[in-house]
A and B are shown apart, each in its own frame.
Chain A
Amino acid sequence: MRSRLALGAVAGLAALGLALTGCSGAGSSSTTSGGAVDGKGKTLDVMIAANALYPTQQQKWFQDVSAQFQKKTGATVKFETFASANDELTKIQTSVLSGQGPDIYDLGTTFTPTAYSTGAFVKLTDDDWKKLGGRDRFVPATLGISGPDQKDEVGIPFLSRPFVMAYNKDLLAAAGIDKPATTWDGLLAQAKKLTTGGVHGMAIAYADGYDPWKFIWTMAMQQGNTILDAKSKKATIDDAAVKKAYQTYFGWLTSDKVVDPAAIGWKNAQAVAAFAQGKAAFLPMVSSSSQVSLDASPMAGKYAYAVMPTVPPGATKLPSDGKAAATIISGDNMVVAKYSKNQDLAFALINMLTSEDNQVAYTKTFGDLPTNAAAAKKIEEGNQLLTPILDAGTKAYGTPFTGAWGDTQLALVNVVVQSIPGLSSGGVSASDLQAKLKTAQDAAQAALNKSK
């Protein structure tokens, strides 16, 4: 039928049209040499995480930033928020694919390697760093996840959210414990002592989608295993160090019994709830974001933070090839899209946001730690609660900088997810664990092989 042919032709032409525009060219960068950047009449588009804990404050911060920037350069700032990291990744993909979207993205540090691997974000030259206020204004540890090496950095550190352990001051005092141990074995012993009555030593979220791999990574790093070696493209999951990490992690529940049996079904929120209701003494793997929830709970004033152990399980001191990793480098990096037509303006904004005053003000409002070294020193004075977190930030190590890390992370969590039925009925056998490690190893290696 003629009309059907016509329809087919339309479809074909449309597909061809799409094909022609599928090649997205890189956006031109308007370089204005030296001096202040002029952005009159322009608008910068920034994509940032929606802060559900401080929503009204965040709205005010958006307005203040835009006003401040307008005074400085004449350009306004429009903020776009996303709800979860998955949403932002999807947005990045659609923007990269189409060559249009926000100028600046505020990314979680663990996703910076993925963004880097798309090749769609500006690699910072020395000149660019100058426009940003200089590379040395930042806390050195926070730069560890900006790029695979110093020459190829895309991420500008904006916020720091190191992971630490929260502990119940009252419970520890009652058991005669001065402060949490600095070795995993020591911590376990303390936890056993604290497990009495209805209280358990630790609150661990086994069913969480994010927490488990950080424990494994930390313990493996401390034994000298970096999980992935990006340079030699080798995955080392099927390894004794990783096995020991999993066995320790599972053992807390099954053999040591310092964790509530219900924890096999806990996501992070349930673990926090258990700690907040005074049912657990230690709550590892939290960041300063937990302050809001804990201060609004019966635990307000009764908890403190401590750096997580830096000595691997089964040892009393750090092995020679081990890394004293207290936490992953966690926080937010800012990246500038190559398709952006206002790259210098973007650098100016990031410069402003990472300046000492802006960073101190941000910390005071939202609780996340600054990446500006001067600002970090300033907030240390007079805030006992944050001191351990700042300390942990200096002992942070970056996860392997490769596009394969996303799949590796998933594989590490998958070992836990598929072990949960076994854990609930008593434990996971060594051979079973070995088989799962092999699966994870294969998945990570496959992803590494594909990486460029």
Chain B
Amino acid sequence: MTETTLAAPRGAAAPGGPGAQDAPSGRPGRPARRRRLDTRNRPLWMLLPGGILMVVIILVPLVVAVVMSTLDLDQYTLQSWLQAPFIALGNYVEAVTSSPLLRSIGISVSFAAIASVITLPVGVAAALATQNRFRGRALVRSLFLIPYVLPAFVVGTLWRTMLQPGGVVDGMLGGLGVHPGLWLNGPLSYWTLIIVQIWTSWPFFYLLVVAGLQSVDPEVHEACAIDGATWWIKLRYVILPYLRGPILLALIIAFLHNINAFTLPFVLFGIPAPQDVDVLPVLTYTTSFQSFRFGLSAAMAICSLVLIAIPLFVYLRAVKLDSGEEEQR
């Protein structure tokens, strides 16, 4: 039987931790037996389908990409790519020293972080607001999804048309007496990218938080009501802890996705990209498919991968997202 008290979130969340390590709620003194149970019946074969797919279709091409990054692979040597001259770290040196790579990484990382952090409360608010039944809720929930469903290049074209000088947005703001200047070039373009990215990706947070909200124990609501907790207290101390997992996951995934988002800046600003929005994916795309320097582009992408993987794993350990051990409250 489960305890249904205000402490329930901790009880409900804890069993999700590593199966054998912690003492399960209400059942002290039997960890040894549980561990053996788990190890004996491990259905590791269930890992095979996903594992094989990911090794073959992601890891193997990744190895190929690493090999390509050590070759002087460009339009002249593409035809027999294995015979392209081997230049070891030559591409990496060029990527770091004479290409705009580091600057692009800076722009991309800051843009991704800001966009993810600002989008978070929007998505959470939407999920909270549509959690309870009201007339038309299904429709509202589906409408909320639209910005995320629209393909990135449509969103890019749509906003580019809206933000062009003399376009709809300028017209509206002009009516209010505000003249911000050029949206699609110059210093404001960075914020344009952030705003459009927020518009198109907040349903992502919304979806994840909605899923997380479903695991909230319904008795908790009654318990709060009986205890006379206000909505803010209830939200902050009872509901949000349930959402910790989904929110942390959404943050990191949105961050990674924003760093690698290519289509939106490509369509919104075109190439060559204005200085302020020369983001990383557009840079690697142009290097690869416009300048045809595949080796250099692979080196750039791998550099950025390494640079991003480090804070990624730091984040994972810090919030214990990987091992799932929540901090004891």
Binding site for B on A (CB under 8 A): 3, 7, 10-11, 14-15, 18-19, 22-24, 86, 89-90, 93, 96-97, 114, 117-120, 207, 209, 261-262, 264-267, 270, 403, 406-407, 410, 413-414, 417-418, 420-421, 424, 447, 450-452
Known contacts: A265-B184, A406-B291. The answer to whether A14 contacts B56 by CB under 8 A is: yes
Say which one of B19-27, B78-86, B240-248, B304-312 lies at the interface with A: B78-86
- CB of B75 within 8 A of CB of A262, answer no
Task: Report B-chain residues with C-beta under 8 Å of the C-beta of A19.
Answer: 67, 82
- CB of B80 within 8 A of CB of A90, answer no
Give the docked Cα–Cα distance between A430 and B287 (Å): 29
Known contacts: A11-B55, A118-B76, A403-B76. The answer to whether A410 contacts B286 by CB under 8 A is: yes
By secondary structure, the A interface counts as helix
- B178 interface residue (CB < 8 Å to A): no
Known contacts: A93-B292, A265-B185, A406-B291. The answer to whether A120 contacts B79 by CB under 8 A is: yes
Task: Please indicate which of the listed interface residues B82, B185, B186, B275 has the most CB atoms of chain A within 10 Å of its own CB.
Answer: B185
Give the docked Cα–Cα distance between A380 and B78 (Å): 43
CB distance from A408 to the nearest CB of B (A): 10
Neighbour of B272 across the interface among A22, A90, A403, A413, CB < 8 A: A413
Neighbour of A424 across the interface among B81, B166, B186, CB < 8 A: B186
CB distance from B266 to the nearest CB of A (A): 9
CB distance from B81 to the nearest CB of A (A): 6
30 A-B contacts, Cβ less than 8 Å apart? A10-B55, A11-B55, A15-B67, A23-B80, A86-B290, A89-B290, A93-B78, A96-B78, A114-B292, A117-B75, A117-B76, A120-B78, A207-B270, A262-B166, A264-B165, A264-B185, A265-B182, A265-B183, A403-B76, A406-B291, A407-B291, A410-B271, A410-B290, A410-B291, A413-B272, A417-B270, A417-B272, A424-B185, A450-B74, A451-B76
Neighbour of A97 across the interface among B55, B81, B165, B187, CB < 8 A: B81
- CB of B182 within 8 A of CB of A424, answer yes
- B274 interface residue (CB < 8 Å to A): yes
Give the number of residues in B that approach A within 8 Å (Cβ atoms). Answer: 40
Q: Which 10 A-B pairs give the minimum distances between C-beta atoms?
A: A421-B186, A265-B165, A22-B82, A262-B165, A414-B272, A262-B166, A420-B185, A14-B60, A15-B63, A209-B270
Known contacts: A262-B166, A421-B186. The answer to whether A410 contacts B292 by CB under 8 A is: no
16 A-B pairs besides A118-B79, A417-B273, A424-B181 with CB distance below 8 A are A7-B55, A15-B64, A18-B64, A22-B81, A97-B78, A207-B184, A209-B270, A264-B185, A265-B166, A403-B76, A403-B292, A417-B270, A417-B272, A421-B187, A424-B182, A447-B291
- B289 interface residue (CB < 8 Å to A): yes
Write out, one digit per residue, whether chain B residues 279-314 have a CB within 8 A of any chain A CB (1) or not (0).
000000010011110100000000000000000000
- B37 interface residue (CB < 8 Å to A): no
CB distance from B179 to the nearest CB of A (A): 12
Known contacts: A403-B75, A418-B274, A424-B186. The answer to whether A7 contacts B51 by CB under 8 A is: yes
- CB of B289 within 8 A of CB of A89, answer yes
- CB of B292 within 8 A of CB of A406, answer yes
- Chain B, range 161-189, C-beta contacts under 8 Å to A: 164-166, 181-187
Give the docked Cα–Cα distance between A451 and B133 (Å): 65
- B235 interface residue (CB < 8 Å to A): no
Give the docked Cα–Cα distance between A117 and B293 (Å): 13
Task: Report B-chain residues with C-beta under 8 Å of the C-beta of A424.
Answer: 181-182, 185-186
B82 and chain A: residue at smallest CB distance? A22
Give the docked Cα–Cα distance between A426 and B226 (Å): 67
- CB of A23 within 8 A of CB of B166, answer no
Give the docked Cα–Cα distance between A396 and B271 (Å): 26
- CB of A417 within 8 A of CB of B60, answer no
CB distance from A205 to the nearest CB of B (A): 11
Give the docked Cα–Cα distance between A89 and B79 (Å): 14
Task: Please indicate which of the listed interface residues B67, B165, B181, B271 has the most CB atoms of chain A within 10 Å of its own CB.
Answer: B165
Give the docked Cα–Cα distance between A117 and B79 (Å): 10
A260 and chain B: residue at smallest CB distance? B166
- CB of B271 within 8 A of CB of A209, answer yes
B184 and chain A: residue at smallest CB distance? A265
CB distance from A91 to the nearest CB of B (A): 11
- B140 interface residue (CB < 8 Å to A): no
- CB of B79 within 8 A of CB of A119, answer yes
- B89 interface residue (CB < 8 Å to A): no
Task: Report A-chain residues with C-beta under 8 Å of the C-beta of B81.
Answer: 22, 97
